[in-house]
Structure 1
Amino acid sequence: MTSSENLADVSATVHRHSESSGERPALAFVQDPAVPSSARWWTYSELDREARAIATHLAARLEVGSRVLLIYPPGGEFVTALLGCIYAGMIAVPVSMPGKLGHARRRVLNIAEDARVAMVLSGDPIHAEIQSWAATSGLEQPVIPHASVATHDDPIAAPRPAGPGTVALLQYTSGSTGDPKGSVVTHQNLVVNAGTMARTFGFDETTRSGSWLPHYHDMGIGVIMPLLLCGGSVVLMDPAVFLRRPVGWLTLISTYRVTFSASPNFGYELCCRRVSDEDSTGLDLSSWRHAINGSEPVRSSTVREFTRRFSAVGLRPEALVPSYGMAEATVFVAASPDRPAVIARFDREALADHLLRPAESAGDARELVGCGRPRDLDLRIVDPAGRLRGDGEIGEIWLRGASVVPGYWGRAEATSHAFNARIGDEDGFLRTGDLGAVVDGELFVTGRIKEMLIFRGRNLYPHDVEQEVRLHHELLKHGNGAAVAVPAENGAGDAEDHLVLLHEVAGRPLPDELAATATAIQETVVREFGVRCQQVVLLRRGGVRRTTSGKVERSEMRRAYLAGELRPLFDSALG
């Protein structure tokens, strides 16, 4: 299958695979990638049977179109629950586990309330925990354990038919805890995006994806659903196992002959840093055709180092594929596989003026990694007045096409603003909020509009500042940072905002070492960017908040800084 024309709706397509190739492996969850016997497999027939059982239970209790909150630990049961909801004509709402932290628990509750869920399905190992969370949170909807719906004596014979506009799931993206927005993902969105990925990456029945990504994240679902729709197979592992021992991901790829796998940049960086040459012994990455790098800015240093480090165990130089995508476009937007990554050097001063111009010397350069060309989407670069920008001119990235979702659940005003942008007589464009430019057909993403730093008319991208200081200062090398703008004490407005750098440090440095590093960081920022870094706040590892996919939550870090919630090891403002 290499075309969306071969796909019906999501549930009918998976059901058809169970009828035509029922004994073919569809899904596995691996407890320990180094131990093949730790894998639990589902064939397409078993996947379909469990989904039909779940759908039968749901249809007996809920009206078609009801929202069902899915709270599952890592495992294949989440996939059967997701398909069961879709088979029954319900709307799945995948979320993370509430956990113990207050903001995480509030976020899940706010999603449940925003989606107006009618039921909660929970994984069996965490059912008691989820029941307790629901009771203490005041959530009145029933919390049903997976085991009670996973089998049925008389399941429905086939999934409920769905049209192109039938809503399959709500994908809540990382954002404000108190104001979550759910992207409305239809059957058409999933089918079209899967077809686009199939054509771009050559998916067919022999393709196998492997993933450590959180299953409720858009990128996590994005390596599961397209493969099942295309008749391939999916091998999953626990994200916590990867974070503890990153070589586990590479072992998964090697052992199960994975051909397609994806990660944000930090996953590749973690492998470079924590997978030793000894760990790599015995790995064979020659099956890995497409190693997708997306969901956050792609660092040129990571691309080079990962390719260099693992070429010795079979990784091909063209395997690493920088990409661009977002939940509002289902997941996948742009990539150009089967070629070495494009790394270009652009003039730093021109970049501050919203232009991508080749640098004349290395000292004046900022490296950017190309994300390939858009696939099956109309992509435009637009200035704040809604005018088209030319080749190499930076503006907001706008998208239009069948992979773009209809809008945000229950948010008419936000939907109208984000999804109905106009360029002249053309309408229906999605404002992505991302900044970028197209150079000779190649998309370069430069940052987020809401995170842009402007000091006395000079534009700075926060990840550029963060990456530059990591290059120059050993204590910061393997940590995360957030460069933010905060109001000056005199409240003078945006032009007088101060630059503050919040950054993690490694190890347990002495106070004098922290003080010297903070001073050196301020000197680096002035030298490299021509602006003053008013304050440097150094934090313990884990002090910079990130989303489940690894993105730095700069807005949340700015809020925490202003609210006085950070617990710094060193603050240059205090000395």
Structure 2
Amino acid sequence: MVKQKFLSDILDSHPENGPALGFLSADHKETWFNWGEFRTRALAIAAWLQKEVEAKAPVILLFEPSTDFIVSYMACIYSGNPAVPVPVPKTLAQGQPPENLVRIIGSCGAKGLLTSDMIAPALPLINGYLAKLGLSIKSVTAREAATMPADSFKRFQLLETDIAMIQHTSGSTANPTGVLLNHRQMSYMSQTMQNVVGLTKDSRGVIWLPHTHNTGLLSTLSGIWCEFPILCMSPITFVTKPVVWLETIAKFKATVSGAPAFAYDLCVKMITEEESAGIDLTTWKAAYCGGEAMAPNTLRSFGKRFEKNGFSSDRFLPLYGMSEATLLVSGHLPHTFPLTEHINGREIISCGKIIDELEVAIVDPETLAPVPDGTPGEIWASGPGISLGYIGDPEKNAATFGLAIKGREGRYLRTGDLGVLKNSELYIVGRLKEVFILQGRKFHAQDIESSIKEAVPQLQLAPFLLVSIKEASRECLHLLLEIPEVAIPLVNQAAPMLAKLLAQKHEVPLGDIWIIEQGGLPRTDVGKTQRFKAQQMAQDEKLPFIQKIKTNSVKASAPVAAMASEARAPQSSAELKSSNDAIAHEISKMIAAELGADHVDLQQPFVELGLSSLTVYSLSGALEKTFKLTIAPTIFYDFPNIDSLTRHIHGELHPESKSVDQRLERKDFQNGESEDIAIVGYACRLPGADNAQDFWQNLKEGVCSIGEVPTERWSKSKYYAPLPAQIGKMYVNRGGFTLQSVKNFDPQHFGITPTEAVRIDPQQRLMLELCWEAMDHSGTYPRPLARLPYWCLGRH
């Protein structure tokens, strides 16, 4: 057994000076802590936690990529409060309730929250939403907490069995699953990382993986464990410009850095010979790959592409693991070329040998008996790195951590992954559990399928499954649907909406919808559909297909479709920038390549194409490189289809070519060359008044617009209680209400379908109406303002 040490003891033992932790900003500026500064700041935050948060209560860490995250994490280690890293909910920027964050707070019983100055403005929203559910939490920015004197922290003896972290498994949105890890397991895995990757004091690391990702976090902590400097950067920086990752490795002379397999593919795809010229990767000795299986083609193409930069394929370290095993189950030794085997007709790269003190068995998932060496089966693991289990879920713990193998003693972790052990090497051949891994991110099938059922109630009783199919070098998510042929028109109509839903809610692109003959999906003896078997049959095209419906196919009229598909490819960079046709061709080609489609409709909104945020950042970087313009990822929202984006880019490249109407519009509305007259329009919705005139009349007459809560909002008999602090009850039954006319919303006026309108937040519908009324009141006709940076300011 590895000799146990606490991470806090390790940090205490490091000298004051010497670079410890740095961060590379989007504008390529580095900020650094030395070991003394790192330790002092962590102890100061720990002192705040010790004073303000009850002992051993979990603390949420809500940070964008920054050094403050890892400093706050170490503060939790010092104070004995389990750290709970959580990704920043995208809903915060939209002013919407952070439901997933609140679920995590409730499920783990967190009593503290540390965050950054950037996220701090959203704290009232978070606290307000918690208050509605009867929850509360002590929240503070790391900067404010760090003002506590570091020497006010009262040291005490940690126990190896104390919980160090609650790691929420990625991809779970409906019911966040928290994995409990104690200090012994964190120390064991830190030591294991040192042994497997070959880390020493002379190592230097570059990390862009999210800090909420277990590989990103443990890779950063390995710098503390082994006393070597780590330079972090944002995942967005990498996805937008992959070359920055390699440039940073070269400049920092990093010896260790890694990523999921898709990142290596992205480098080969996006980095030009011109960009990579002069990048020296000779110091990069360990290029680990985890989070998803590495394809042989990825290994070979990256190695060949960057061989002239000093990289060789024997630097690759394929790893296998998961949060439930703290991080690693197996790993490849450095400086040895990864082995490959042909299994079931596929060439598969080994994920190395099983790590020390861990036992792995390959088990028949039906009989729960071990299978012979070289035979595929489910991977089960047991040993010191295996988690204590999921927080507050004894049933799931019993099914995942509490199983025995026939003929063997002890309990095993059931990974849900399929693998082969051959000559002591572990090969991953697939997944049994209902989780998809796309571009290094996990998605739970049930979460996405629940969203589909909510969006299309007619599918509630229809058998359907999401499956992940390997196509070329990418995984694609497809929907297998058993319905009668008469229902196919309904699915055709719903397909674009489903693609849009999955893109917005889950950030996952939906491929095709495959209509299967009734009874065609494989089932168990009791009639339950079998996802893994269906996935295998779909991959081999052995399912009884009726029709394949493409969710991202061309839906334009013939002339528009012809423009997208027949535009001649530009022959030079000058020609590329010379015409709308050439620009549209290039943009269409880029997006089609990302989607795996033949071509893309110029008029189809990007939001319906299933572009994830990762894809949007990648595309914006590609457009910036191609057209030599500064292009922000928000351009896909400002110009929501290829047609409008093409005209915008052409206008930026050739300002003189803008139409007379465009120049007049910009002159009239932006240059302010007319007289200095402010034309002010306003509109409002207030309790008892749907417009300013009614509001003024109520003021003059002294009308009170406060009344009892309408019965259509909630039942007074069911929810009202005169005494406060009763769970599930409200002690207030009066208020002012402004949305009486929300059902009168006219979606077609705004170019919105009735189906889409039902799913729009009522406040957003109200904002649309008020913006239109305000512009109308000012005497401005809104239509000509389309695509202009014109603002309506509102107060909620």
TM-score by length of 1: 0.77
> Displacement of 1:43 after TM fit?
1.2
SS of the residue 2:312 aligns to? coil
Specify the code of the residue in structure 2 equivalent to 1:372.
Answer: G
The residue number in structure 2 matching 1:277 is 273
Aligned pair partner of 2:110 in 111, 114, 117: 117
Specify the code of the residue in structure 1 equivalent to 2:139.
Answer: V
> Displacement of 1:134 after TM fit?
3.6
CA distance in 2 between partners of 1:526 and 1:62 (Å):
52
The residue number in structure 2 matching 1:327 is 323
> Displacement of 1:140 after TM fit?
2.9
More strand by percentage? 1
Is the Cα–Cα contact under 8 Å of residues 295 and 549 in structure 1 kept in the other structure?
no
Q: Deviations over 1:505-531 (max 9, x none)?
A: xxxxxxxxxx99999xxxxx9895444
The answer on 1:391 being equivalent to 2:391 is no
> Displacement of 1:503 after TM fit?
9.4
Q: 1:527 to 1:296 in 2, by over 3 A?
A: closer
What CA RMSD, in Å, does the superposition of the two structures yield over aligned residues?
3.3
Specify the code of the residue in structure 2 equivalent to 1:312.
Answer: K
The residue number in structure 1 matching 2:7 is 10
Q: 1:305 to 1:528 in 2, by over 3 A?
A: same
The answer on 1:371 being equivalent to 2:348 is no
Q: 1:153 to 1:450 in 2, by over 3 A?
A: closer
RCO comparison, higher one (Cα < 8 Å, 6+): 1
Is the Cα–Cα contact under 8 Å of residues 165 and 187 in structure 1 kept in the other structure?
yes
Residues 152-167 of structure 1: matches in 2 within 5 Å? 152-153=148-149, 155-156=151-152, 159-167=155-163
The answer on 1:413 being equivalent to 2:395 is yes
The residue number in structure 1 matching 2:432 is 449
The answer on 1:169 being equivalent to 2:162 is no
The residue number in structure 1 matching 2:101 is 108
CA distance in 2 between partners of 1:74 and 1:214 (Å):
7
SS of the residue 2:50 aligns to? helix
Q: Deviations over 1:208-251 (max 9, x none)?
A: 22111111111110211122112122110011111111111111
The answer on 1:466 being equivalent to 2:470 is yes
Q: Deviations over 1:156-203 (max 9, x none)?
A: 467542122111110001243121111111111111111112112221
CA distance in 2 between partners of 1:369 and 1:408 (Å):
31
The answer on 1:345 being equivalent to 2:358 is no
Q: 1:517 to 1:190 in 2, by over 3 A?
A: closer
SS of the residue 2:215 aligns to? helix
Is the Cα–Cα contact under 8 Å of residues 107 and 180 in structure 1 kept in the other structure?
yes
> Displacement of 1:435 after TM fit?
1.0
Residues 42-53 of structure 1: matches in 2 within 5 Å? 42-53=33-44
CA distance in 2 between partners of 1:198 and 1:461 (Å):
39
SS of the residue 2:78 aligns to? helix
Task: Compare CA radii of gyration and give the structure with the larger one.
Answer: 2
Specify the code of the residue in structure 2 equivalent to 1:80.
Answer: V
Residues 187-336 of structure 1: matches in 2 within 5 Å? 187-336=183-332
The residue number in structure 1 matching 2:656 is none
Aligned length: 485
The answer on 1:381 being equivalent to 2:362 is yes
Q: 1:324 to 1:157 in 2, by over 3 A?
A: same
TM-score by length of 2: 0.57
The residue number in structure 2 matching 1:94 is 85
Is the Cα–Cα contact under 8 Å of residues 499 and 610 in structure 2 kept in the other structure?
yes
> Displacement of 1:69 after TM fit?
0.7
Q: 1:526 to 1:115 in 2, by over 3 A?
A: closer
> Displacement of 1:489 after TM fit?
4.8
CA distance in 2 between partners of 1:232 and 1:250 (Å):
19
Aligned pair partner of 1:83 in 56, 74, 81: 74
The answer on 1:439 being equivalent to 2:451 is no
Is the Cα–Cα contact under 8 Å of residues 53 and 138 in structure 2 kept in the other structure?
no
CA distance in 2 between partners of 1:529 and 1:300 (Å):
24
> Displacement of 1:29 after TM fit?
0.6
Specify the code of the residue in structure 1 equivalent to 2:84.
Answer: V
> Displacement of 1:141 after TM fit?
1.6
Moved more, 68-77 or 99-108: 99-108
Is the Cα–Cα contact under 8 Å of residues 19 and 229 in structure 2 kept in the other structure?
yes
The answer on 1:422 being equivalent to 2:404 is yes
The residue number in structure 2 matching 1:30 is 24
Structure 2 runs not aligned, ≥5 long: 437-464, 486-494, 501-510, 516-536, 553-590, 596-606, 617-754, 757-796
CA distance in 2 between partners of 1:448 and 1:127 (Å):
39
CA distance in 1 between partners of 2:433 and 2:324 (Å):
17
Is the Cα–Cα contact under 8 Å of residues 55 and 156 in structure 1 kept in the other structure?
no
Is the Cα–Cα contact under 8 Å of residues 329 and 403 in structure 1 kept in the other structure?
yes
Q: Deviations over 1:318-368 (max 9, x none)?
A: 11121101001111221112212223333xxxx3xxxxxxxxxxxxx3222
The answer on 1:538 being equivalent to 2:533 is no
CA distance in 1 between partners of 2:540 and 2:412 (Å):
37
SS of the residue 1:100 aligns to? helix
The residue number in structure 2 matching 1:132 is 125
Q: 1:201 to 1:91 in 2, by over 3 A?
A: same
> Displacement of 1:438 after TM fit?
0.9
SS of the residue 2:13 aligns to? helix
Specify the code of the residue in structure 2 equivalent to 1:8.
Answer: K
SS of the residue 2:100 aligns to? helix
Is the Cα–Cα contact under 8 Å of residues 380 and 412 in structure 2 kept in the other structure?
yes
Q: 1:92 to 1:451 in 2, by over 3 A?
A: closer
> Displacement of 1:283 after TM fit?
0.8
Q: 1:131 to 1:234 in 2, by over 3 A?
A: farther
Q: 1:146 to 1:175 in 2, by over 3 A?
A: same
Specify the code of the residue in structure 1 equivalent to 2:470.
Answer: E
> Displacement of 1:143 after TM fit?
2.3
SS of the residue 1:124 aligns to? coil
SS of the residue 1:224 aligns to? helix
SS of the residue 1:427 aligns to? coil
Q: 1:548 to 1:159 in 2, by over 3 A?
A: farther
Specify the code of the residue in structure 2 equivalent to 1:140.
Answer: S
The residue number in structure 2 matching 1:67 is 58
Q: 1:344 to 1:159 in 2, by over 3 A?
A: farther
Q: 1:378 to 1:104 in 2, by over 3 A?
A: farther
Is the Cα–Cα contact under 8 Å of residues 53 and 151 in structure 1 kept in the other structure?
yes
CA distance in 1 between partners of 2:262 and 2:317 (Å):
14
Is the Cα–Cα contact under 8 Å of residues 14 and 48 in structure 1 kept in the other structure?
yes
Specify the code of the residue in structure 2 equivalent to 1:95.
Answer: V
Q: 1:480 to 1:83 in 2, by over 3 A?
A: same
Q: 1:536 to 1:264 in 2, by over 3 A?
A: farther
SS of the residue 2:84 aligns to? strand
Specify the code of the residue in structure 1 equivalent to 2:551.
Answer: L
CA distance in 1 between partners of 2:281 and 2:195 (Å):
23
The residue number in structure 2 matching 1:496 is none
Q: 1:297 to 1:489 in 2, by over 3 A?
A: farther
Q: Deviations over 1:107-135 (max 9, x none)?
A: 22211111111121111122102433442
SS of the residue 1:164 aligns to? coil
Q: 1:168 to 1:325 in 2, by over 3 A?
A: same
> Displacement of 1:532 after TM fit?
4.8
The residue number in structure 2 matching 1:474 is none
Specify the code of the residue in structure 2 equivalent to 1:84.
Answer: A
